[in-house]
Structure 1
Amino acid sequence: MKKTQILYLGLILVLVSACGPSEKTKQLMQDAKISFGILPEKMPGSEKDTPAKIALGEKLYFEKRLSINDSQSCSSCHGTLGTTAGVDNLPTSPGALGKNGDRNSPTSLNAGFHFVQFWDGRAADLKAQAKGPILNPVEMAMPSEAAVEKKLSEISEYVDLFAKAFPDQDKKITYDNLAEAIAAFERTLITRDRFDEFQAGNHRALTSEEQKGLETFLSVGCIQCHNGPLLGGNSFRKLGQQNPYENTTDVGRSAVSKNDAEKYFFKVPSLRNIALTAPYFHDGKVATLPEAVKKMAYLQLGKELSSEEVDSIVSFLKALSDKNRSN
């Protein structure tokens, strides 16, 4: 009799586990869809990309000869191979001539979904962004667009690749075409994670701890800035809305807009792959994800989070890592 009861209990547990989500989980899934929306399958502009443009752009992305001394490529600061997540995991990045930039390198993964590029939004899209670092004296330090075009024109492989990518243009190797090709490649850098699966209806994609973290994320107010499919990347916000940030040397958006009202405003970073992209903030001065969560809640929301709340949110954020990369 006892054996039969045990078997019966086991059968009940199996049946319960096979059931659909609880009402609480259903509501959380619905809240997530409303708060964030679904990450599109393709990036804006990708309909014009061809395999030839993407192949050229990928080669250019990893091409060190685009720097003054053949030492630096886009990938040097925005690695995408293996488990790297579009960054170099340094506070600030050294350029071709050894000098570091002033800001933390943002990830190139999913970048084409952002409403503008760079921390201060000085580039409207991926193509405009791709033109900047190659000529920046602190980054790749090439002297001019003409110098870049001349260098590439002297490499037979690129003569062929540009001809295939831009067959209808009289002049194939141009700085504008270079940027267009790099942007085409970057539009392929879309990541997928377990949160996508959760939003698609798989309630088991997130553990109970991660679901609790999502609830905490929403209830604490992180959603005020980190919303939309990328959980960010779609607005400027002042760093230090409730309590001032200690680093006041970088005025952020106002240096571009010349509007003092935008002083200390920065683009809200996406939280996709955030567990893989330490260190944090525009200056790279925050070393760990728990520290970033705690500090951001204080600066932006005026809240002192408990250790339990921080750990809970971090648990959810780790579920935002690309399934092909690891935490």
Structure 2
Amino acid sequence: MKLFFILALIFSAQAYAENGSRQIDADDLKRFFEPLPESIIDEEKNAALIKLGKTLYLDPRLSVNDKISCNSCHKLDSYGVDNEPTSPGHDNKRGDRNSPTTMNAALHIAQFWDGRASDVEEQALGPILNPIEMGMPNKGAVVAKIKAIDEYQKLFSEAFPNTEFPFNYNNIGVAIGAFERTLLTPSRFDDYLKGDEDALSQQELDGLNKFINAGCTTCHNGVVVGGNSYRKIGLVEPYETDDLGRYEVTGMESDKKVFKVPSLRNITQTAPYFHDGSVETLDEAIRLMAKHQLGQDVDSEFVEDVKAFLGSLTGKD
């Protein structure tokens, strides 16, 4: 049933692409996308928790050498990434996967490329104990280190006012996750989805039509234009990678080389691309996705128009 629904959407989209209309029917557009919500956390009610979370997010003292913070790899002033293929950890070693953006991440189906964390609260705790990343030896060491910092005595008591023992490892994740839930980046595309017909240029609309018509919306759909499903890389044309992806989490043969579909919000700003950060430019990423996921060889006009559309997903200042 799901396959028939997807095919119906693609064929419907093709009609729009072929009729040369500047606009896409608003009702049908809602089948593919939805605008970002205004908020996903009550910022007034959770002000103290969010303040603690932001402080922890920016604090390199969460690492074993006092030099690596969440912000080191997920920079708030760089759309939640560090623009490196893979990120250096506390001893300058690098992992195998690209650091995905924290912007809008709370709206994803799960966290990490393989979906091993269910939400941003759980995800925030992983890198702290990762021996390559922040390198802390165990949960107790993290709590003891943070508890010894005077600033955190007040911040934790205010963030967890009705808790007898506010200092615990889980609460670090709760606080960082609360802060990350504020990292939404509404864009001109959201304005368009809400009815502003002049929000996108003609080229951006052409790119949107081509994006839909080619079948990109099969994977890149919903509120963050992706992030809500898992797909095998090389679905149509094989893609060479030694990374087994979600298989390492589930052990299921069908999950080999399967990864969470990345969000395309802010995609023009978050190079390099793919799970291993091996693709340097968005042009190349578009071509490779068309080939390996859709079995299509696209021309330069397609790439330029789709890239223009993707630019409309960049958060507004």
- What is the TM-score normalised by the length of structure 1? 0.89
Q: 1:39 aligns with which of 36, 40, 60?
A: 36
The corresponding residue for 2:297 is 304
Offset at residue 33 of structure 1 (A): 2.0
Code of the residue aligned with 2:277 in structure 1: it is G
What SS is found at the alignment partner of 1:237?
Answer: strand
The corresponding residue for 1:15 is none
1:172 has 2:166 as partner = yes
1:50 has 2:46 as partner = yes
Q: Does structure 2 conserve the Cα–Cα contact (< 8 Å) formed by 1:110 and 1:189?
A: yes
Offset at residue 158 of structure 1 (A): 0.4
1:226-248 alpha-carbon deviations (Å, 9 max, x no partner): 0111110000000000111122x
Q: Does structure 1 conserve the Cα–Cα contact (< 8 Å) formed by 2:290 and 2:296?
A: yes
Q: Structure 1: how far apart are the matches of 2:89 and 2:133?
A: 4
The corresponding residue for 1:207 is 201
Q: Structure 1: how far apart are the matches of 2:139 and 2:44?
A: 24
Aligned 1:146-165 pairs, distance under 5 A: 146-165=140-159
Code of the residue aligned with 1:39 in structure 2: it is L
Q: Structure 1: how far apart are the matches of 2:221 and 2:129?
A: 33
Offset at residue 312 of structure 1 (A): 0.8
1:66 has 2:62 as partner = yes
Counting aligned pairs with the same residue, the percent is 50
Q: Structure 2: how far apart are the matches of 1:28 and 1:80?
A: 35
The corresponding residue for 1:104 is 98
The corresponding residue for 1:193 is 187
1:193-242 alpha-carbon deviations (Å, 9 max, x no partner): 00000111111100011000000000011111101111100000000001
Q: Structure 1: how far apart are the matches of 2:165 and 2:312?
A: 46
Code of the residue aligned with 2:31 in structure 1: it is I
Q: Structure 2: how far apart are the matches of 1:289 and 1:298?
A: 14
1:76 has 2:72 as partner = yes
Offset at residue 47 of structure 1 (A): 7.9
Offset at residue 260 of structure 1 (A): 1.1
Q: Structure 2: how far apart are the matches of 1:27 and 1:176?
A: 46
Aligned 1:9-48 pairs, distance under 5 A: 24-43=21-40
Q: 1:239 aligns with which of 217, 230, 233?
A: 233
Q: Does structure 2 conserve the Cα–Cα contact (< 8 Å) formed by 1:111 and 1:126?
A: yes
Q: Does structure 1 conserve the Cα–Cα contact (< 8 Å) formed by 2:189 and 2:312?
A: yes
The corresponding residue for 1:127 is 121
Q: 1:279 aligns with which of 256, 272, 281?
A: 272
Offset at residue 26 of structure 1 (A): 4.4
Code of the residue aligned with 1:124 in structure 2: it is S
Offset at residue 28 of structure 1 (A): 4.1
The corresponding residue for 2:310 is 317
The corresponding residue for 1:137 is 131
Q: Structure 1: how far apart are the matches of 2:281 and 2:67?
A: 29
Q: 1:46 to 1:255 in 2, by over 3 A?
A: farther
What SS is found at the alignment partner of 1:24?
Answer: coil
Corresponding pairs, count: 299
The corresponding residue for 2:260 is 267
> Gaps spanning 5+ residues in structure 1: where?
1-22
What SS is found at the alignment partner of 1:107?
Answer: coil
> Gaps spanning 5+ residues in structure 2: where?
1-19
Code of the residue aligned with 1:140 in structure 2: it is M
Code of the residue aligned with 1:306 in structure 2: it is D
The corresponding residue for 1:294 is 287
Code of the residue aligned with 1:175 in structure 2: it is Y
Larger radius of gyration: 1
Q: Structure 1: how far apart are the matches of 2:25 and 2:286?
A: 21
Q: Does structure 2 conserve the Cα–Cα contact (< 8 Å) formed by 1:112 and 1:125?
A: yes
Q: 1:307 to 1:60 in 2, by over 3 A?
A: same
1:216 has 2:213 as partner = no
Q: Structure 2: how far apart are the matches of 1:46 and 1:267?
A: 28
Offset at residue 31 of structure 1 (A): 3.2
1:24-46 alpha-carbon deviations (Å, 9 max, x no partner): 34434443222112322222x65
Aligned-pair Cα RMSD in Å: 1.6
